[in-house]
Amino acid sequence: MKVIYIISLLGLTTLTSCLETITLELAHPPGLSFPYIEVIHYSKHGWEILITPTKRADNGQSISFDIEYITLYEGEQAVYTNSQSQTDKTDILYQPIEGKIYSLGVKIKGSDEFRSKPQLYEGSIRIDSILVNRDIVAFNWTNRDVKGEYLITEVNKDGDYNNKISFSDIISNTDTKIPSTLTHVLDLHRDTTYFILNKPSSDVITFLESVSEFHSTFDDGVADPHQVYSNFESGFGIFGFIGQSQRVIAIRE
């Protein structure tokens, strides 16, 4: 019995004494810090501009930069240029025209201009009707774009977004025939005062889907990482439009 016990202990030592979690030291981690560009035009409240440094993935550090200018192009023609060097002061004082194609150029000191892919501005959209029945809200709106995808943002009474836009909110029906009107039903889980129906431009939808895909696989442990979409040919970011329709609904106060 003693022999068996000794052999077992040796075996146990062999198998378990070495179980250890280590951090792998990488010789050349590919960390970069560069500008992230997020320029979106909302049909309800205009331009939201965010040009901010990303952090290096290996150590969390970032490098600041100066903006030389940002330029909005209508077709190939520059219609507005802003040369404020600070991000929080950068603005685009130009109202896009429905049916026109726009692109954005961003110039950072020391690098070439980052230019976005062109995007069609479709203007605002309209919710035709909303039905409220206890915890359920049903939306109905006219679908003007057979390939279009929509999303509904739920906003609380303080005006904060309860949900940042995520994939589950995207309403699309691209695999089947798109009806002339779309209906979406929401289950409410909290007090809500108003909703916004959003119609992002195609690149914005692709971007949102890719971020959603990234999050659904990132923590999985077995999936390969997902690439987040960018519509800047050099540089990284998203430029586009979100057509909106807002409805205030008093549900439970």
Partner 1 sequence: MALKQITTVWLLLLFTASSLCGQSLTISGYVKDFTNNEVIIDAVIQTQNQYTTTNAHGYFSLSLKADQPITLTVSHVGFEPQSIKLNPDNDSVINFLMKVHELETLKVIYDQKFKTHKDQLPGAQTIESSDLANASLMLGEADIIKYLALQSGVTTGVEGFAQISVRGGGLYENQYYLDGIPMYNTGHLLGLSSIFNGNIIKKANFYKGHVPSQYGGRLSSFTAIETKNGNSNRWEFNGDFGLIDSDASIEGPLFKKKKSSIIISSRAFYIIPLINELRKEEGAVNYYFYDLNVKANMEIDDKSKIELSYFYGRDHLRTGKYRPPSTVMETKSDLEKQNISNAVLSLRYSNAIDKKSFLTAHLGYTSNKSDIYNGFGFAFDQLSNLTENNFSAQIQDIYARINLDRLLNNNFRWINGVETILHTLAPGQLSTSYLSQFGNEKTQSSNRLTQSNQHLTQISLFSNIDGKLSKNIRSNLGLRITTAISNSTYLRLEPRLAIFYSWKDITFKASANLHHQYLHPLVLGNNERQPMAIWQSTNKNTKPQSSKLLSLGLIKPIFNNKINWSIDGFYKFYNHLISAQNSATGFELFFEPEKYLNYNGRGRAYGIETTAETILGDKIQLHTTYTWTKSFRQFDDVFDGKEFPFKFQREHNIGLNAIYRLSERWSLSSNFVFNSGQRFSFPVAYVENSNLVRNFFLFNQRNNIELPPYHRLDLGAVWNKQINKVYNFAIKFGVYNAYSKKNPIVVYPDVFLEGGEYFAIKGEVLFQALPYINFKIHRLL
Q: For binding to partner 1 (CB under 8 A), which residues are involved? A: 4-5, 7-8, 10-12, 14-15, 17-34, 36, 38, 40, 48, 50, 52, 54-61, 164-166, 204, 207-208, 211, 213-218, 220-228, 236, 238
**How far apart are alpha carbons 201 and 104 in whole angstroms?**
14
Q: Which is nearer to partner 1, 76 or 219 (CB)?
A: 219
**How far apart are alpha carbons 244 and 197 in whole angstroms?**
6
CB of 76 to partner 1, least distance (A): 25
**How far apart are alpha carbons 12 and 48 in whole angstroms?**
61
**How far apart are alpha carbons 179 and 46 in whole angstroms?**
30
CB of 225 to partner 1, least distance (A): 5
Q: Which is nearer to partner 1, 102 or 239 (CB)?
A: 239
**How far apart are alpha carbons 206 and 48 in whole angstroms?**
19
CB of 41 to partner 1, least distance (A): 12
What is the DSSP-derived secondary structure letter of residue 86? Answer: S
Q: Which is nearer to partner 1, 56 or 247 (CB)?
A: 56
Give the tokens for residue 24: 């792998």
Of 203, 184, 200, 186, nearest in space to 244 by CA:
200
CB of 224 to partner 1, least distance (A): 4
Q: Whose structure tokens read 């695999």?
A: 175
CB of 23 to partner 1, least distance (A): 6
Give the tokens for residue 47: 């331009």
Q: Which is nearer to partner 1, 128 or 233 (CB)?
A: 233
**How far apart are alpha carbons 241 and 230 in whole angstroms?**
14
CB of 130 to partner 1, least distance (A): 24
Q: Which is nearer to partner 1, 101 or 223 (CB)?
A: 223
Strand 67-74 versus strand 46-53 pairing type: unpaired
Q: Which is nearer to partner 1, 129 or 234 (CB)?
A: 234
